[in-house]
Amino acid sequence: MILVTGGCGFIGANFVLDWINIVKEPVIVLDKLTYAGNINNLDSLRHSPELIFIKGDINDPPLVESILTQHRPRAMLNFAAESHVDRSIRKPDDFIHTNINGTFCLLENARQYWQHLSGNEKEAFRFLQVSTDEVYGSLTAQDPAFSETTPYHPKNPYSASKAAADHLVSAFHHTYGMPTLITNCSNNYGPYQFPEKLIPLLILNALQNKPLFIYGDGLQIRDWLYVKDHCEGIRKVLADSPIGETFNIGGNFEKTNLEVVHTVCNILDQLKPAKHSYKTLITHIEDRPGHDRRYAIDSKKIQTKLNWQPTETFESGIRKTIQWYLDNLAWFDTLKNNNHYQNWINSHYKESAT
């Protein structure tokens, strides 16, 4: 079996669902169930004997040690992270605690566990860190896309905390010989994404006839990756990569935020028409402090070495995503009634718009 931390979050939940459905290997999910961790994301596996769920913190060394000792996983995949840039600007200490200290706690427990393994078990063990392209910083329109050799240059507390975690993972490999792997992905979208991020927030606000907020001129560029393509890439890295490697996983679809908003509105106009086009709700607000202008991922390494490439175009993936949210409005409803979520949305966007 494998251990997945943060397995009730957006990417982690999609990974667990696909892993059990495709690989059919048992998974231990360790998740603290913070505001973005939703146990209902794994509801289809509620009665599955292949899922073991443990509520807990990756910063709890005795808990992590007991899980490793009792279940003896062959791999650990760390999806657990605070991941919203806006929140990191307001309250960076949560990001230091989870993304840096939490990763260290996992690494140190994994190191002790791995060192006491022997034979094939020791040879097969892997620790995979799921990271982000934001650790590389920002690109101009003329810059080449981020590659695995691009120097780290994070620009906000979130990306800095993820960069620090990646450095710890790399250091544990080079210092202790730990069998680690790192993946750096571009902007994910798809089912189960908490609606503080751009695409699900657009969908939710549009359906409620609320403003569709765009930071600044909306010309910030992101490379968009459908989450299930990302999960397939992680499976490839875990299965086939030599230890100590880093792989960038990108969708190869660069879009401005404004293009994304217009695409979402166009598809909603087709699938859920209202009296007026959803584009009438578009509202520009003050730009985010230190907003990175462009991210772009060069995925040639994983494509050539591991034979992975995305199967979804942005157009096909975003249509599937919007249809999923329309088909699962009850999932949205639980969040609309969540005071923690509503307080964040109301305070953050009210201040940004003034």
Predicted pLDDT at 57: 98
Helix (H) or strand (E) holding 129: strand 126-132
Q: Which CATH number characterizes residue 13's domain?
A: 3.40.50.720
In a domain, 86, yes or no: yes
Cβ-contact 264, 210 below 8 angstroms: no
Active site residue 333: no
In a domain, 203, yes or no: no
- Would you tell me how many other CB atoms lie within 10 Å of the CB of residue 64? 25
In a domain, 31, yes or no: yes
What are 111-129's pLDDT values in tens digits? 999 999 999 999 999 999 9
Active-site residue, from 57, 82, 136, 158: 158
| Best CA proximity match to 295, nearest among 186, 161, 157 | 186
pLDDT of 337 higher than 90: no
In a domain, 305, yes or no: yes
Active site residue 94: no
In a domain, 334, yes or no: no
Active-site residue, from 133, 196, 223, 298: 133
Active site residue 158: yes
Name the band, by pLDDT with cuts 50, 70 and 90, for residue 354: very low
* Number of domains the chain is built from: 1
What are 35-83's pLDDT values in tens digits? 889 999 999 999 999 999 999 999 999 999 999 999 999 999 999 999 9
Rounded CA gap, 169 and 167, in Å? 5
Rounded CA gap, 318 and 226, in Å? 8
In a domain, 290, yes or no: no
In a domain, 26, yes or no: yes
Name the band, by pLDDT with cuts 50, 70 and 90, for residue 150: very high
Active-site residue, from 31, 82, 86, 134: 134
Cβ-contact 168, 100 below 8 angstroms: yes
The share of the chain scoring above pLDDT 70, in percent, equals 95
Name the band, by pLDDT with cuts 50, 70 and 90, for residue 100: very high
What are 271-320's pLDDT values in tens digits? 999 999 999 999 999 998 888 899 999 999 999 999 999 999 999 999 99
Rounded CA gap, 74 and 14, in Å? 20
In a domain, 354, yes or no: no
Task: Provide the domain limits for residue 25.
Answer: 2-190+227-252+295-312
